[in-house]
Amino acid sequence: MSVTQITDDNIDTGIDTSKCIGSVLPAMDGSALTGLNVGTSLLKNGFNPAVDTNPADGVGAIWINTVSGQMFSCTDATTDQNTWTNMGSGTGHITYVPYYYQGTQYGYNSNGYQNNVAVDSYERYSYPSGTPSNIVGNLTSTMLQGTGHSSATHGYQAGWGPQIFKFSFATNGNASLVGNMSVYHESGGGASSEDNGYHLGGYAPGNAVSMIEKFSFQTDTSYGNIGSLTVHRYNITGHSSPTHGYATGGPHPTPVLIIDRVAFANDTSAVHVGNLSKVPYNKWADHSSLTHGFATGMSLSPTVTHIEKFAFAASSNSSDVADLSALTDGAVGTSETNNGYTSGGTDTGANKWTKIDKFSFASTTTATNVGNLAITRIYAAGQQI
């Protein structure tokens, strides 16, 4: 039997389709089709997606900005931490940037005492040099011995009043009052997670307290009491790891060596995980690397200056690893990526310091004086960006 191959050249376009057997085809069930991706999200809106735009279909979802015409593809789907890649220009990708407590640009000192008089200003100094330090705004109220907290965009101070003040790292200027603590208590320890600030312990009129209070960076809500430290105390040094806050030292009413740990993931009371090697003379400055907590200041006996270090990962005691450049009590600590900064404070006499000391988180060398504050400050609060 001969077979004729049908080509473009020999197709008879005049065929009467009514003569074709089966010319009327039945409707096809789309569920029988295979190999086609019909489930990918195609999202449209008049703005770009954000890191917390969570597509139902995950990686491969497409977002079209109906105003600019730009198109984005979800290339990493992690809840509230998504990556949206710009498919057109190849730039302007929307990528989650993780929060780190440590700063890279500036350290801040807010409020405190200048020559025994309370001040309401705050100042900043540049990392990594420590200089110059300049007054850049006011909290609009004098707050004595408050706690410092840092979000990714703002600095906070809480305590005296009992008020919570907030200032912008980007614009500086005067701070705004955004909330209140549940009760008045000063001289606590400050810790910060990505989303919340924590006030640990402190001193209410006539009594030390063990309260752990928490407030939201996102909503500027007032504090809520979520638990307790293992003992009530004040003049606490606070530290922040990626997952926990720590409260070290403080009178009870006599000084204690306790290191307490508070979980950021759960609103629960603290756990005793270790002890300091030296008894603080008063309030030590606080610092945090990604892996360790550091406390700097004078010990009660002997009266010398220490840099204490303890590991976040282990439930262990701290060790004395180095010294500040001079006797310092009541100073402020801030934390840069690789270094700690201790600024202000006083000695056991009448000397009030403006000095800024810098020490390496990685080494055990004595701190170096790298600059000076704009004014003397004692019992101020610290923040960093």
- What's the rounded Cα separation, in Å, for the pair 319 and 381? 24
Structure tokens at 68: 């600019």
As a whole-number percent, the residues of the chain with pLDDT over 70 amount to 89
Structure tokens at 168: 């912008």
Structure tokens at 175: 């701070």
CA 133 to chain centroid, in Å, comes to 22
- What's the rounded Cα separation, in Å, for the pair 252 and 363? 32
DSSP state letter for 152: S
For 235-251, write each residue's pLDDT tens digit. Answer: 999 999 999 999 999 99
Structure tokens at 7: 């080509």
Residue 228, strand partner residues: 211
Mapping DSSP to helix (H, G, I), strand (E, B) and coil, where does residue 279 land?
coil
For 311-337, write each residue's pLDDT tens digit. Answer: 999 888 999 999 999 999 999 999 999
On the question of pLDDT at 16 being above 80, the answer is no
- H/E element holding 118? strand 117-118
H, E, C per residue of 175-236? CEEEEECCCCCECCEEEECCCEEEEEEEEECCEEEEEEEEEECCCCCCCEEEEECCCCCCCC
Task: Tell me which fold the domain 106-384 belongs to.
Answer: Neuraminidase (2.120.10)
Radius of gyration (C-alpha) of the chain in whole angstroms: 30
pLDDT at 19: 52
C-alpha distance from residue 292 to each of 239, 271, 331, 353 (Å): 9, 17, 19, 26
Least confident of 37-51, 61-75, 152-166: 37-51
The pTM score is: 0.81
Provide the strand spans (E) within 250-304: 258-263, 271-275, 285-288, 292-298
C-alpha distance from residue 372 to each of 98, 126, 130, 132, 134 (Å): 31, 11, 8, 7, 10
For 204-238, write each residue's pLDDT tens digit. Answer: 888 899 999 999 998 877 778 999 999 999 999 99
H, E, C per residue of 8-63? CCCCCCCCCHHHCCCCCCCCCCHHHCCCCCCCCCEEEECCCCCCCCCCCCCCCCEE
Q: Are 201 and 236 in contact (CB under 8 A)?
A: yes
Mapping DSSP to helix (H, G, I), strand (E, B) and coil, where does residue 356 land?
strand
On the question of pLDDT at 11 being above 90, the answer is no
